[in-house]
Structure 1
Amino acid sequence: MLWLKALHIIFVVCWFAGLFYLPRILVYFAASDSPQARAQLAIMARRLYRFVTPFMVLAIAFGLAMIGMNHDYYLQAKWLWLKLAGVAFLVGYHVQCGRYVKAVNDDTDARSHVFYRFFNEVPVLFLFGIVLLAVLKPF
């Protein structure tokens, strides 16, 4: 169980590194007037998205494996259901990042750097909530 937990945490950290940096690349893309810089940032965003997506899958897989090890406890724990709702939202956020990356690479994105600055803050809020739920286990 401890190996599963360690691997889960490792891949969550790796996934979140991508969730924090990918929208930041989109901020720089939207704020840039240089076609060369925009092209390079679009490539960076695409490569980063492809790099961190397996981390998301592995984080979820190891989390589900931990639930499977003690499903009687976990499936009745209200804190876990809230955590899973947060994770589901983050998966949606990740998918939305992929849509923005595609739009940037197709040169069809018209969002401002201000939009992406706000969008960039979303995973921080969910990180706080999910970590507090996992550590404190309220309810």
Structure 2
Amino acid sequence: MSLPAMGYILSLTYLWIKAAHIIFVIFWIAGLFLLPRYYIYHQESTPGSQEERRWIEREAKLRKIILTPAMILVWILGVTLATVGHFWDSGWLMAKLALVIGLSAYHGYMVGYGKRLARGERPVSGKALRLMNEIPGIVTAAIVILVVLKPF
């Protein structure tokens, strides 16, 4: 299939791609809200206990079943939307992209932190985790403003 034909097909499915992008953004952000909360409960459990083992299992499932697949799909669908919509020269998209890169880095940090917790390390306090739990909400609000208002 030629590139112009592929572009035509993608433009016909633009709204479906956009809907899927929004759905997977919701899954990803919900997971990013939930994961630090799991870590807080995990840290408050007794090291080596059955409860701690259950938290480790829950965290791994959340990361593997929801968080990481959702993030990957958000990226694939978002790049597709930017390409089909010819938005690559938009200032708002570049700002959004910077924020999404930041959320992806946060995601990576949280995945790494969970692996450290599973090894018995607890380098961050519960209070710090509670503060980190606010990051996805603040960044998501900024992204929504950029996408809806397209201020530049």
Shorter-chain TM-score tier: over 0.9
Alignment of 1:88-103 (within 5 A): 88-103=101-116
Q: Which residue does 1:46 correspond to in 2?
A: 60
Matches within 5 A, 1:108-119: 108-119=121-132
Distance in 2 between the 1:49 and 1:60 partners?
A: 16
Determine whether 1:129 maps to 2:138.
no
Deviation string 1:10-40 (CA, Å, 9 cap, x unpaired) is: 1100111110101110011122336222221
Whether contact under 8 Å (1:29, 1:42) holds in the other structure is yes
Q: Is the 8 A contact 1:43 1:105 kept in 2?
A: no
Q: Is the 8 A contact 1:46 1:105 kept in 2?
A: no
How do 1:1-139 residues align onto structure 2 when only pairs under 5 Å count?
1-33=14-46, 35-51=49-65, 52-71=67-86, 74-139=87-152
Distance in 1, matches of 2:126 and 2:45, equals 9
- Which 4+ residue blocks in structure 1 deviate beyond 3 angstroms? none
Supply the RMSD in Å over aligned alpha carbons.
1.2
SS of corresponding position for 1:21 = helix
Does the Cα contact within 8 Å between 1:27 and 1:116 map onto a contact in 2?
Answer: yes
Instruction: Name structure 1 gaps, 5 residues minimum.
Output: none
TM-score (ref. length: structure 2) = 0.85
Q: How many angstroms apart in 2 are the aligned matches of 1:102 and 1:66?
A: 33
* Structure 2 unaligned residues grouped into runs of 5+: 1-13
C-alpha separation in 1, matches of 2:57 and 2:117: 9
Structure with larger Rg: 2
TM-score (norm 1): 0.93
Q: Report the residue type matching 1:63 in the other structure.
A: G
Bigger shift: residues 86-95 or 25-34: 25-34
C-alpha displacement of 1:110: 3.2
What secondary structure is seen at the aligned counterpart in 1 of 2:120?
A: coil
Percent identity (aligned) = 37
